Amino acid sequence: MAGGILAVAVGPLIALAAIGVLVLVGLFAAAVYRPVFATYAYLGTLPIIAGINRGNLIPLLRPNEALLVVLIAGALVGGYLRWCRGDRVSLQLNQLDIPLGFFLLMSTAWPLLSMMLRGHTPLTSDLAAVLPVCKLVAIYLLVRFSVTTEGQLVRCFRLIIWPGAVVAGIAILQTLHFGPVVSMLQAVWTPDSNAAALAERGTTTLGSPLATGDYLVICLTLVICCGMRGLLDRRERLSLGLLLGAGVLATGQFSTWISAVVAGGIILWRFSVVRRNSLRFLWLVPVALAVGAPALIGRLQGFGEFGVPRSWIGRWSNLSTFYLPRFGFINVLLGVSPNSVLPAPERWRDVIYLESGYLDLLWIGGIPLLVAFGWLSVVVLRRTGKLIAQSDGPSDGQPRALSAAASALWVSWWFLVILTVLDPHLTFRGSGDLLFVLVGMTTGRLSVQRH
């Protein structure tokens, strides 16, 4: 009897596992046949599966991480087979590779070496903490070497923007307390949350309102930049802009709203065509405000007696109590640990996060990592600035999609540099991936062919 019950219970799990394996094999084969498919598959699924916790569906990995491993393996096999048959494989360095490689070393090898120099043995959590930056660089290389035509670039834009719009819709429905959406999120993406708390902010399928907000702001920036270059028609721009704008409000995050204001200000300052046409789209603002009103009103009611959000008071308490006392001279110079997440001494929470981006860099790798991030930022902003300036010149002939990618990356990296004062935006789920996707687009074969 017990054996029969066990068979009934295990049978569906085996069937699901078999289906999952077959899907992964199919994706691997598709990536071998057409490496650009690996980029398409990753971008199209990223905001939907990136928020599923590590180990929930696949041991030790998030689903998007497992998918990325399979897709990159397929793309590598496909590239090798093409090289064997005599196809030209372009692997030359560009001006971004050296600062990016330095940033990778300072984010991974250096923090571990620093711990050992100070007499500490890296733990498993320390080793796991250096993997996200490795993933970002892998995404950069995948996009850089697989996306080769303007048509593919535009297809990638839509595979970023439209899933982002789906996430925005989920954020809106979540904060409107739409039962099926809240139940779905609670069942798969945030099983440890209760329904009432889950409906307060737009955590969505990314599992975090901050990550959701960053993702939507980058998508909205990309919509505007594609619109400037004539890559999206008017109806598509309006519908996407309305949905993404309302989704930004529905995240219920002050940091996200600040990011949106900063990104909007940078766009208006840098691009005169947006300034000239901005009045035509002002009617979208009250519509987006009306749709995102529940989360906005709820968060504005949450100000403490000091005139700042209550969560920011808790943030400062965490910094001043658990993190700042450990920033002595040696730790500022060399870093503290690759893992900035600390165990909480209280029973009502499990861990404490370092909610300040630049302090997070100092904690992980000290001054060397901070310098590496600064160098990478300078090179990214200079390169994209040159691409934008060239696209604005007469009869330049630069692909419009490359100009749109450069514009979106320039704006997004500036708001990254500014808002990293508040949070470690570079390693947020989804948004960090998008930033390195855009970096790969602006350094790929289209850029090489152009120059």
In a domain, 4, yes or no: no
The residue with greater pLDDT, 446 or 28, is 28
Interatomic CA distance for residues 173 and 418, integer angstroms = 30
Residues 38, 173: one domain? no
Q: Identify residue 150 by its one-letter amino acid code.
A: E
**C-alpha R_g of the chain:** 22
CA separation, residue 184 to residues 180, 200, 205, 251, 282 (Å) = 6, 15, 9, 17, 34
What is the rounded CA–CA span in Å between residue 445 and residue 318? 45
Amino acid at 379: V
Same structural domain, 289 and 385: yes
Same domain, 37 and 119: no
d(CA 108, CA 194): 36
Least confident window among 8-22, 101-115, 235-249, 417-431:
8-22
Q: Of 60, 85, 110, which residue is a domain's last?
A: 85
Same domain, 328 and 445: yes
Q: What is the pLDDT of residue 61?
A: 80
Measure the CA–CA gap between 366 and 113, rounded to whole angstroms: 12
> Residue 399 and residue 34: Cα distance in Å, rounded?
22
Residue 290 has pLDDT above 80, yes or no: no
198 with 150, same domain: the answer is yes
Same domain, 150 and 71: no
Residue that wins the pLDDT comparison between 362 and 348: 362
CA distance 270 to 370: 27
Domain limit, last residue, from 38, 57, 85: 85
Name the nearest CA neighbour of 408 among 429, 380, 428: 380
Q: Could you tell me what percent of the chain has a pLDDT over 90?
A: 43
Q: How far apart are CA 113 and CA 120, in angstroms?
A: 10
Residues 189 and 295 in one domain: yes
Phi-psi region of 90 (alpha: psi -120 to 50; beta: other; left: phi over 0): beta
Instruction: Name the amino acid, one letter, at 190.
Output: T
Same domain, 48 and 174: no
Which comes out higher in pLDDT, residue 291 or 321?
321
214-230 mean pLDDT: 93
Q: Is 303 helix (H, G, I), strand (E, B) or coil?
A: strand
CB 432 within 8 A of CB 107: no
Residues 249, 291: contact at Cβ < 8 Å?
A: yes
Gap between the Cα atoms of 249 and 267, Å rounded: 19
Number of domains in the chain: 2
10 within a domain of the structure (yes/no): no
Q: What are phi and psi of 333, to 5 degrees?
A: -75, -45
Mean pLDDT of 165-181: 91
> Does a structural domain hold residue 441?
yes
Q: Are residues 282 and 375 in the same domain?
A: yes
State how far the Cα of 228 lies from the Cα of 20, in Å rounded to an integer: 41
The DSSP code for 429 is T
Task: Out of 85, 115, 133, pick the residue that ends a domain.
Answer: 85
% residues pLDDT > 70 (the chain): 86
Residue 179 vs residue 295, higher pLDDT? 179
Asked, for residue 90, whether it belongs to a domain, the answer is no
Distance CA 102, CA 166 (A): 36
Q: What is the separation, in whole angstroms, between the first and last Cα of the chain?
A: 72
Q: Are residues 65 and 24 in the same domain?
A: yes
Residue 116 sits in the same domain as residue 180: yes
For 309-351, the DSSP string reads BHHHHHHHHHIIIIIGGG--HHHHHH-S-S---EE-SSSS-SE
The boundaries of the domain holding residue 293 are 95-450
**Mean pLDDT on 320-340:** 89
Say how many C-beta atoms besides its own lie within 10 A of residue 43's C-beta.
22
Q: Does the structure show a pLDDT above 90 at 80?
A: no
Confidence of residue 305 (pLDDT cuts 50, 70, 90): low
Query: Would residue 9 count as lying in a domain?
Result: no
Task: Give the chain's mean pLDDT.
Answer: 85
Q: Is there a single domain that holds both residue 19 and residue 127? A: no
Residue 5 lies in a domain: no
Q: Is residue 440 part of a domain?
A: yes
283 beta partners: none
Residue 383: predicted pLDDT: 94
Q: Which range among 20-29, 53-62, 216-225 shows the weakest confidence by mean pLDDT?
A: 53-62
The answer to the question of residue 6 being in a domain is no
